Structures are given as structure tokens and as C-alpha cells.
Amino acid sequence: MSKQRKNDERALKVMIAPALVLLLGALVPFMRGVWTSLTNSKLYSSQSNSFIWFENYRAMFANSIFLQGLRVLIIFVVSVLIIQFILGITIAHLLNTKTQFTKISRSILVIPLLIPPVVASLLWKTLMWPTDGVLNWMLSLVNLGPYQWLTSPTTALFSTMIIDTWIYLPFVTIILLSGLQSVSQDQIEAAKLDGANSWQIFKYVSLPWLVPYIFLAGLFRGADAIKTFDVIYSTTRGGPIDSTRVLHIQAYEEGFRWANAGSAMAIVLFLWFVVYAFSNTVIRFSKLRDNRGLVS
């Protein structure tokens, strides 16, 4: 290789260096966090800082609030994924035509996704106000009793799912729509000529093309749902009575309400592990089904 080529190849390394430095910089607090999870350190004082191995983790798994939070998290993640994918593919199918109406709709569609989740939570908290909110007013018009929405342990989680869906359904929809638009028109025409109905066309022609998009949307949405924080912190803070106390919230509270840095890190590292396992599984699974897969 000529000297000039060698210098040029080095240029690539120079180009990537700053980004590497910045992101490796993030590993420092992370490593420190891992260390902290193995101690009993408190947040504001540097006393009582002894190494206690996996005691935090053992206590965590024995803690009923943690287990409740895990249960709540699983219900939340599975539910929002199902709801958002079913609605998402429906709307994507509806928008899969080239009209002025659908074009405008597609622009408006993404607005909830782009405003701060805090703002979205505020919006819905207002609408869901149990005493004189708009939603309960609408229910009263059809003689349905006032719904407790975010204020009751039995309804709070479901209410946060509605908010999460309002924000992120556009995300799933635009990705699935992009998938639908990538389906080969020739294959659809051929299927129509063979006498297939809409459902059969969807199942045997469109769906295979959609698979990588489903995996992509599922990967991002699943990982984000597991890490849910903003919506719940802005609406219920985990209540009422632990009914929405997902793990990311618990980690925050353990750290900043109870100042238990060690156990807080244990919770969030467990959460990190869950997201890691989830994303690895999805990516690996996507490679099995489809040669293209995600992330090549």
C-alpha cells in the first residue's frame, strides 16, 4: 500500500476517534455504577461504603415491591406492544394509498411522537382528571360513570398504556407503512389475478416483506417500553399503591428518595440486563428468519 493510502486509511481512524472517546467516556460512570451496586453506599455521604458483594441483588429479588414492579413492567410491555402493533398495522394499511388526504394525515400523524413525553403526559393528565376532565365528561354523555383513570390502583396502569400508545403508535405506524410501501406491486397484482382476496394478499404477499420492519419497530418499541420512565414519572410517580411502579422508576426512587445508591444501581443494572437480553434476542431472531436481518 502506498504511503499516501496508508495516511488516508489512518484518516478513518482519526475520524472515528472523537466519537469513540465520548462514548467510552460513558463507560466510566457505568463501571463505577456496577461497582456501586456491589456496595452499600449512600448517595450523599461517603461513609458506610463497604463492599457487600451481591447482597443488594439478593435483597432486591426478595423485595415484594421489586417483584410487583417487575410484574407491572411485564404487563405494561406486552400489552403496549400488542396494542400498538395491531393498531399500527391497521392504520398503516389505511394510509397505504396515494391521496392528498393520506399525505396530509401522515404529516399530522407523527406529531404526538415528536412532542416531549412530559407534555403528552400533562395533556392526558388534564383530560383524565377524574372530577371534571373532558374524558369523563364525554363518558357522562353516554351515561357511563366517572372513570378513575390515573387515580385508582386498578385503572392507573391501563391509563398510562393509553398515554404510551398515543405517543408511540405513530412510530410503529410509520415504520409499518414504510414496510407496506416496499411490498412488490407485481406480486400483489399476480396474487389478485390468481383470485386472492385482501386478507390472503396480506398474509402471503405483504407479510413476508413486512418482517424486517416488524422486527425493527418491535426492537425499538420493546426496548423503550422496558425502560419506560417519563410517562409514569410525569403522571403517577409509580402510584397509586405501586400499581405503576415500573423498574426504572424504582431505581430512581431508590436513589433519590431513599438515597440508597447501591440498591438503586442493582435495580437499574438488572433492568439493563433485561433490555440487553431482549434486544439481543430480537436481533438474533430476525437474522434467523430473514437473511437480511437487522444490523446486517
Partner 1 sequence: MSLKNSAKTSLKNAMILLFIGFLVLPIFWIFTMSFKQFVDIIAYPPKFLFSPTIENYKQVFASEFPRFLLNSIIITGGAIVIGAIAGVPAAYALAQANWRKKEDLAFTFLSFRFAPEFAVILPLFAIYQTLHLYDTYIGMILVHELIVLPLIIWICRGFFSDVPGAINEAAIIDGATHWQRLRYVYIPIASPGLVSAGIIAFISSWNNLLFGLVLSGKSTQPVTMGILQSMTFNQIKWGEMAASASVAAIPGIIFAVYLQKYLVRGITIGAIKE
Near partner 1 in 150-169, by CB under 8 A:
166, 169
Contact with partner 1 (CB under 8 A) among 3, 13, 64, 98: 13
Q: Does 295 bind partner 1 (CB under 8 A)?
A: yes
Stretch that binds partner 1, among 50-58, 63-71, 75-83, 271-279 (CB under 8 A): 271-279
Near partner 1 in 232-261, by CB under 8 A:
233-234, 248, 251-252, 255-256, 261
Q: Does 190 bind partner 1 (CB under 8 A)?
A: no
Nearer to partner 1, 204 or 256 (CB): 256
Nearer to partner 1, 52 or 113 (CB): 113
Q: Does 15 bind partner 1 (CB under 8 A)?
A: yes
Min dist CB 43 to partner 1, Å, is 7
Contact with partner 1 (CB under 8 A) among 6, 16, 78, 189: 16
DSSP 152: S
**How many Cα atoms occupy the beta-carbon half-sphere of 235 within 13 Å?**
36
Contact with partner 1 (CB under 8 A) among 38, 77, 216, 225: 216
Min dist CB 44 to partner 1, Å, is 9
Nearer to partner 1, 54 or 256 (CB): 256
Q: Does 23 bind partner 1 (CB under 8 A)?
A: yes
Query: Coil, strand, or helix at residue 213?
Result: helix
Q: Does 170 bind partner 1 (CB under 8 A)?
A: yes
Q: Does 191 bind partner 1 (CB under 8 A)?
A: no
- Residues in the interface with partner 1 (CB under 8 A) total 91
Near partner 1 in 49-88, by CB under 8 A:
87
> In the beta sheet, which residues pair with residue 39?
51
Which amino acid is it at 156?
A
| Separation CA 161–CA 156 (nearest Å) | 9
Distances (CA, A) of 283 to 174, 180, 214: 20, 21, 12
| Separation CA 176–CA 206 (nearest Å) | 11
Q: Does 275 bind partner 1 (CB under 8 A)?
A: yes
Nine cell digits for residue 139: 363518558
Near partner 1 in 89-128, by CB under 8 A:
91, 94-95, 97, 101-102, 105-120, 122-127
Min dist CB 137 to partner 1, Å, is 6
Handedness of CA 202, 204, 208, 209 (dihedral sign): negative
Query: Coil, strand, or helix at residue 270?
Result: helix
Given a contact cutoff of 8 angstroms between Cβ atoms, the answer to whether 153 and 240 are in contact is: yes
Which amino acid is it at 29?
P
| Separation CA 124–CA 235 (nearest Å) | 9
Torsion from C-alpha of 183, 184, 190, 193, nearest 10 degrees: 50
